[in-house]
Copies of this chain bind each other. A is one copy, B any other.
Amino acid sequence: MNATLGGFTLPGEAGHDAFTLAMARKWGADVIRDSDGTSLSDEILNSGHGVYSTLCLVREDNDWAKNNPARLQQNFLMSAPVTAPGAEVVIDLLAGFSPDQFVVNDWDGVREFWQVFDRTTGVEVPSDDWDMVDGGRVVVRGVTPWHRYTVNFLVTRIWEEISMYNHVTNDWGDREHLRAVEPRYPEVQERLLQALEDWCVAHPHTTVVRFTSLFYNFAWFWGDNPRLPHIYGDWGSYDFTVSPLALRQFAATTGLRITSEDFVNAGRYTSTHNQPSRVYRAWMSFVGDFVLELGRKCVEVVHRYGKGAFVFYDDSWIGLEPYSGRFTEFGFDGLIKAVFSGYEARLCAGADVPTHELRLHPYLFPVDLQGRPTFSPGGDPVKDASRYWVNVRRALLRAKIDRIGLGGYLSLVEPFADFQDYIGQVADEHRLIRSLHAAGGPQMAPTRVAILTAWGALRTWTCSGHMHEHPELILTQVLESLSGLPFEVTFLDFDQIETHGVPDDVDVLVNAGLAGSAWSGGDNWRRSEVVTAITAWVAAGGGLVGVGQPSATDRSTQYFQLAAVLGVDQDIGDRECLNRRSFALVDHPVIDGVDGADLPLQRGVFLTCDDSDVFAAIGGTPVGVASRFAEGRSVYLSGHTHGPAAARRLDNAIRWAGRAGPADHRTSNPLTEVAYYPASRTFLVVNDSQEEQVTEVRAPDGVVASVRLPAGGMTALKL
A residues with CB within 8 A of B: 78, 81, 83, 85, 117, 119-122, 144-148, 150, 219, 223, 225, 227-228, 230-234, 237, 266-269, 271-274, 470, 472-473, 514-517, 528, 531-532, 535-536, 539, 555-558, 561, 564, 572-583, 610, 630
Q: Give the complex CA separation of A532 and B85 in angstroms.
A: 11
Nearest 10 pairs between A and B by C-beta? A122-B556, A146-B535, A234-B577, A119-B557, A271-B577, A273-B576, A266-B557, A146-B536, A119-B556, A267-B557
Question: What chain B residues lie within 8 Å of A145 (beta carbons)?
Answer: 532, 536
Q: Give the complex CA separation of A56 and B146 in angstroms.
A: 53
Provide a sorted-by-A list of 18 A–B residue pairs whose CB atoms are within 8 angstroms: A78-B557, A85-B539, A85-B630, A145-B536, A146-B535, A147-B528, A150-B557, A228-B580, A228-B582, A230-B579, A233-B577, A267-B557, A268-B578, A269-B578, A272-B577, A470-B576, A515-B573, A517-B573
Question: What chain B residues lie within 8 Å of A573 (beta carbons)?
Answer: 273, 514-517
- Tell me if A120 and B574 are in contact (CB < 8 A): no
A164 to chain B, nearest CB (A): 15
Q: Give the complex CA separation of A237 and B532 in angstroms.
A: 34
Question: What chain B residues lie within 8 Å of A516 (beta carbons)?
Answer: 572-574
> Which of B78, B268, B578 is the one whose CB lies under 8 Å from A267?
B578
- Tell me if A122 and B536 are in contact (CB < 8 A): no
Most buried by B among A271, A577, A578: A577
Q: Given A85-B630, A146-B532, are A269 and B557 also a contact pair (CB < 8 Å)?
A: no
A317 to chain B, nearest CB (A): 16
A501 to chain B, nearest CB (A): 12
Q: Give the complex CA separation of A146 and B577 in angstroms.
A: 28
Question: What chain B residues lie within 8 Å of A266 (beta carbons)?
Answer: 556-557
A606 to chain B, nearest CB (A): 10
Most buried by B among A517, A556, A576, A630: A576
Q: Given A271-B576, A579-B230, are A122 and B555 also a contact pair (CB < 8 Å)?
A: yes
Question: What chain B residues lie within 8 Å of A117 (beta carbons)?
Answer: 556
- Closest B residue to A96 by CB, please name it: B610
- Beyond A232-B578, A267-B557, 16 additional contacts (C-beta under 8 Å) are A81-B558, A81-B564, A83-B535, A119-B556, A122-B555, A122-B556, A146-B536, A148-B558, A231-B578, A232-B577, A267-B575, A267-B578, A268-B574, A268-B575, A271-B578, A274-B574
Q: Give the complex CA separation of A574 and B145 in angstroms.
A: 28
Q: Give the complex CA separation of A14 and B230 in angstroms.
A: 77
Q: Give the complex CA separation of A639 and B344 in angstroms.
A: 40
Q: Given A266-B556, A266-B557, A574-B516, are A581 and B531 also a contact pair (CB < 8 Å)?
A: no
- Tell me if B148 and A557 are in contact (CB < 8 A): yes
Q: Given A119-B558, A535-B146, are A577 and B85 also a contact pair (CB < 8 Å)?
A: no
Question: What chain B residues lie within 8 Å of A528 (beta carbons)?
Answer: 120-121, 144, 147
Q: Give the complex CA separation of A564 and B148 in angstroms.
A: 8
A634 to chain B, nearest CB (A): 13
Q: Give the complex CA separation of A539 and B225 in angstroms.
A: 25
Most buried by B among A120, A470, A472: A120
Q: Give the complex CA separation of A229 and B269 in angstroms.
A: 48
Question: What chain B residues lie within 8 Å of A581 (beta carbons)?
Answer: 225, 227-228
- Closest B residue to A607 by CB, please name it: B227
Q: Give the complex CA separation of A507 and B78 in angstroms.
A: 35
Question: What chain B residues lie within 8 Å of A564 (beta carbons)?
Answer: 81, 83, 148
Q: Give the complex CA separation of A539 and B85 in angstroms.
A: 9
Q: Give the complex CA separation of A558 and B272 in angstroms.
A: 19
- Tell me if A120 and B531 are in contact (CB < 8 A): yes
